[in-house]
Structure 1
Amino acid sequence: MSSPAAGTAAEPHVVEDCLGFVQLLSDGTVRRSTDYSMLRPIGRVPSDTDLPVQWKDVVYEDTRGLRLRMYRPTGAAAGETKLPVLVYFHGGGFCLLSFEVASFHAGALRLAAELPALVLSADYRLAPEHRLPAALDDAESAFAWLRAQAAPPSAAGAESDPWLAESADFARVFVAGDSAGGNISHHVAVRHASSGGGLSLAPLRLAGCVMLWPYFGGEEPTPSEAAFPADQPMGTALFDQMWRLALPAGATKDHPFANPFAPGSVPLRDLGAAFPPLLVVDPDQDPLHDRVVDYVARLKAAGKAVELVVFAGQGHGFFAMEPCGEAADDLIRVIRRFVYGA
C-alpha cells in the first residue's frame, strides 16, 4: 500500500463508529444512516388498527423543521373528558433514533390508548452534528410550542391545534422519556424549577415527570457499571461512546449534562416548588442501575417527591425492545397509576 504523496492530505478516516448508524470522521464530518428498519422489536407489535388511537405528525419548530407525533385516543371513555398530556422524548444516547422507529411508535400507541392520554412523541437534534445542549434546547422549544397551544384563542390564533383544543388538559402535563429521553426529562424539570432556569410554562402546569432508565453518566464507574459484561451490546462501552459523541467537545462524563450532581449542576436546594413529582423506573439489570438508585436517594434526601419502581430481571430499554411484553404491560400500569394519581 502506497503512502500519501508528500504535501497531500490523508483521506479522512473513521474515528467513531456507533453501531454502523453514525460515523464520525477525522475531519469532523459525519456519515449517518436513518434506516432503522432492522431494529425490529421483539414479539407482537400493535398496528394502527389494533388500538383506538389516531395520530399525526406536527412541526413544533419551523426553523429547524423539528417534528413531533401526536397520538389521541378515540375510545368512548377518552372522549368524555379532557386528557392528561404526556410529552415523550425517545432514547438513543442523544445520537440515534426517532419517534418513527417502530418500537417507539408502538409504545406511544399503547400509552395513548391505555393510560389514556394525549401523547406527544418528539424528535430533537442528534449528536455529533448537534452536541448537547441542542437536545435540551429542543425540548424547551417543544414545551414553548405546547404553551402557545394552551394560550387563549385570541393569543394562539391560527397556531391552535384542534386535537389539543378538544382533548388536552393543560393542567395535567407530564414530561417523560426513556434513556436519553429520561435525561431530557430531568433537565426539563430542573430548568422549570430552578431560579433563572428559563423554562416558564404558564398557563401549562407540569404535573409530573416520568423517567424510564434515565441515561446518566460519570467518570467514576459504579459497581453496576464495572460488573456489567463487556460483551453485552447495551452496555458501558456503547454508553461511553455515545457520551463522547454527545457531550460538548472536550467535556468529560462529569459534565452536568451527563452527571446531574457534578460541579456546575443546579443544586437540589435551588429546585423550588415547581419541581414536579417524579416517577423513576429502574431495570435492575441495567448497567446504570446504581446511578439511578443514587439519583432517587439524593432527591428524596432533598425532600423531593420521587417514586422508584424497580423491574427485576429487566435490562436497559426493555419497553422499546418488547413494547407488548409482560414487563411492558406492568410498566404501563405503573405509569397510569402515577399519571392519574398526580
Structure 2
Amino acid sequence: MATPRPELLSPDEDEEESARGLLYEAYNELQRLAAELDGAAVPAPAVVVVGHQTDGKSALVEALMGFQFNHVGGGTKTRRPIALHLRFNPRCHSPNCRLLAGSGEGDAEDDAGAADRSMLLADIQAYIEAENKRLENDPSQFSAKEIIIRIEYKHCPNLTIIDTPGLILAAPGRKNRVLQSQACAVEALVHAKIQHKETIILCLEDCSDWSNATTRRVVMQVDPDLVRTVLVSTKLDTKIPQFARASDVEVFLHPPTCVLDGSLLGDFPFFTSVPSGRVGSCHEAVFRSNEEFKKAISLRELDDVTSLEDKLGRSLTREEKNRIGVSNLRLFLEELLQNRYIESVPSIIPLLEKEHRAASRKLRKVTQEISQAFH
C-alpha cells in the first residue's frame, strides 16, 4: 500500500486525484444511461459503514470526509441511512453540498422544495434533524430510504459512503421491549444495506479483544466469510494504554485467523483514532477550522504509531504502519472502490451497445422510408 498522502498535494498527485474524479463521473454517467435504457440501474460500488452506537462511527465518517458533518447526536437519533457521494475538488475551499432528488419519503411533505439543489451545510443538517424527529414519532421508527447528499471539497476523498443508524445492544427482559424492538429494526435495516454483493462493508469495532467483537457477528450474517468486509478498530488511542504487555499488543495488531473467522479485505484490521472536539467559533469548540481538524487527525496518527512502538519495544514495519490511521484507511478504500468501478463497467457497456444497435436500425429504417417517400 502507498504511504499516506501529504497535506499539500504535489502537481502529480493533484492530477491523479482529478483523474479519479473524472473516472467516477464517467462511471456515474454510464450508470445513468444504463438505468434509462434498461429500466434498472447497475448498482454502484459503495462503502457501507456499520457499527454500534458507541463505536465512534460518526467520528470516523467525518474524519474520512475531511470535515465535520455533525448530523448526529446520542442514542437512537439517526433513523435514516445517509448516502454521501464525496468528490475531491481542489477548488472547493469549503464543502459544496447538494441534497439530491429522491431523498424524500414519498408521502412526506418535506424535500420537494429542498431536493436537487445546492444548500448550506447547516440547512442540510436541519433537514436531517427534521427527518429524525419525524421518524421518532412514526410507528416504524426507522426508514431504509437514503438521504442522498453530494459533496465536493478540497479535502474529500473520491468515495461513496453510506452511513447507517448505529446498531443497538438491548438488554433482555420485558422492561426493555421497546429498545429490543428498535435493535431488531436497525439490524434488519443494516442487513438490507449490506446484502448487495457490490457493497464494501466497513465494520467498526470498539474492542481490545477480537473474540468479544459484536459488530462483526451482525455483518457475518450477511457476509459470513468477510470477503467484502474491511474491519476497523476504532478509538485506538484509548486502547493502547490498556495493554500491559507487548505480546498483547502483538495479538491485537495481528489477530489469528481462527479468531476473525474469515478472509478480510486488506487481510488485517485497520486501526484508527479521531481527536475529540468540534469545529467552530464558540467557546466550547476545540478546532477553529476544518483544516485544524484535519491536521489534528494527522498528528493523532503519528502519536498512535509512537505509542504503539513504545509499547512493543520495537519499530512498526511499513506494512503495520499502513494499517494505522484514518489516512491509510481512506487511501485503501479509494483504491478498492476505484477497482470496483472499473470491474463494473463491463456489465454496463453491453446494455449501451444493444441500445445503440437498436437505435441504428431504427434510424436506417426511417432514413430509407424518407428516401422512398421523395422518390
Length-normalised TM-score, structure 2: 0.31
> Higher RCO, 1 or 2 (CA under 8 Å, sep at least 6)?
2
Higher percent of residues as helix: 2
**Structure with greater Cα Rg:** 2
Please report the TM-score for the alignment, with normalisation by the length of structure 1. 0.33
